[in-house]
Amino acid sequence: MSERSESAPEISRAGFVAIVGRPNVGKSTLLNRLVGQKISIVSSKAQTTRHRVTGIVAAHGAQFVFVDTPGFQTRHRNALNRAMNRAVANALAGVDLVFFVVEAGRFGDEDRAALAVIPPDARVALVINKVDLLADKRRLLPFIDQLRAERDFAEIVPLSAERGHNCDELLEAAAPLLPEGAPMFGEDEITDRSERFLAAEFLREKLFRLLGDELPYGLAVEIEKFDTEGELRRIHAAVIVDKPAHKAMVIGKGGEKLKRVASEARVEMERLFGGKVFLETWVKVKSGWADDERALKSLGYE
Ligand SMILES: Nc1nc2c(ncn2[C@@H]2O[C@H](COP(=O)(O)OP(=O)(O)OP(=O)(O)O)[C@@H](O)[C@H]2O)c(=O)[nH]1
Ligand SMILES: [Mg+2]
């Protein structure tokens, strides 16, 4: 084979694609799958993603700049929930394409509310995720028909983000929907978020995964120090909890829980950053932070 035919095809299209849907449908799993690296955190709990996370992919002659968003919320419990919905609306402004993600066989009021946030003039591709969970594949066609009645979709692609089934087909179908133009980011860039942001997110993911059901929603992570010395990153992170009683739950017996959380987060940071990480963590109580606009701003919420 000649060198020319082995090289990547020229990029002639580029655009922003927002990934939108109700909580827990697999938006972040899809972003990670498309980028080929874990940059957006994932858990089985709803409301895992709280911030806009950008992932950059070149495929089928196009540069996709994906924007993962928090699951759109229909219940506004506090200022944090409002900030998360704001992040969804901001991500939708001026994008070239929207991936609206649903779970195969499930379309309810929460999905309908998320769909309604997408501006009427936006181009939308419907992504039907988790098809691996559909025991009876014959249910897919009637489900697609049901969704067609909800909106005019430019493309409809059933896939499994977790297994990687049909994900490249989604990129192939979406590439022609992006505007013609030169790439907006360099070839080796995968996200516009900083290592500092990603470090906080990875730690929050491990907390979400290793703690009980109620705790995650009162948790946040603040990076207090992030120093790079050659290949080594020294990171000091504070885990913010809402109530004094939660502090002990995060730390665990003999500090065991926090140690495990930090060690799992460190492994993922080292994988993504490509160097050693020295991670120090402690827990800080900030009562009512999730309903305090000023506290939210200082924690990097929109
Ligand atoms: N079986 C199956 N599970 C999936 C698939 N994609 C995602 N999941 C699971 O669904 C859960 C939610 O995934 P996330 O990617 O965090 O979902 P999300 O839409 O980003 O959720 P929020 O950020 O909370 O809105 C996790 O437990 C994933 O492992 C899939 O294709 N098949
Ligand atoms: Mg998410």
Averaged pLDDT score across all residues of the chain? 94
Q: Does residue 188 fall inside a structural domain?
A: no
Which residue among 34, 117, 162, 166 has the greatest number of ligand 1 atoms within 8 angstroms of its CB, and so is best to mutate? 162
Please work out whether the CB of residue 209 comes within 6 Å of at least one atom of ligand 1: no
Q: Are residues 158 and 71 in the same domain?
A: yes
Q: Are residues 95 and 47 in the same domain?
A: yes
Q: Does residue 183 fall inside a structural domain?
A: no
Cβ pair 31, 68 in contact under 8 A: yes
| CA distances to 80, 142, 197 from 193, in Å | 20, 40, 6
Nearest C-alpha to atom 26 of ligand 1 is from which residue?
A: 44
Q: Are residues 209 and 158 in the same domain?
A: no
pLDDT band for position 1 (cuts 50, 70, 90): very low
- Where residue 166 sits, what CATH number does that domain have? 3.40.50.300
Q: Are residues 139 and 222 in the same domain?
A: no
Average pLDDT over residues 288-297: 93
Rounded to an integer, what distance in angstroms lies between the CA atom of residue 108 and that of residue 277?
A: 43
Q: Does residue 186 fall inside a structural domain?
A: no
Q: What is the pLDDT of residues 86-99, one digit of tens each?
A: 999 999 998 999 99
- The parent domain of residue 202 ranges over 195-298
User: Which ligand 1 atom sits nearest the alpha carbon of residue 165?
Assistant: 31
Q: Which of 120, 143, 177 is the last residue of a domain?
A: 177
Parallel, antiparallel or unpaired: strands 220-229 and 232-241: antiparallel
Nearest C-alpha to atom 11 of ligand 1 is from which residue?
A: 44
Rounded to an integer, what distance in angstroms lies between the CA atom of residue 8 and that of residue 228?
A: 33
b/e 279-297 (16+ beta carbons within 10 angstroms → b): bebebeebeebbebeebbe
Tokens read off for 97: 């394409």
Task: Report residue 199 CA to chain centroid gap.
Answer: 14
Q: pTM of the entire structure?
A: 0.95
Q: Which of 177, 206, 228 is the last residue of a domain?
A: 177
Q: Are residues 269 and 141 in the same domain?
A: no
Q: Are residues 51 and 112 in the same domain?
A: yes
**Domain count within the chain:** 2
Rounded to an integer, what distance in angstroms lies between the CA atom of residue 43 and that of residue 207?
A: 10
CA of 28 to the centre of ligand 2 (A): 4
Q: Are residues 248 and 283 in the same domain?
A: yes
CA of 31 to the centre of ligand 2 (A): 9
Q: Are residues 14 and 139 in the same domain?
A: yes
Q: Are residues 164 and 203 in the same domain?
A: no
Of 3 and 179, the one with more pLDDT: 179
Q: Is 140 exposed, middle or buried (0-12, 13-18, 19+ CB in 10 A)?
A: middle
Exposure on the CB side of residue 39, measured as CA atoms within 13 A: 27
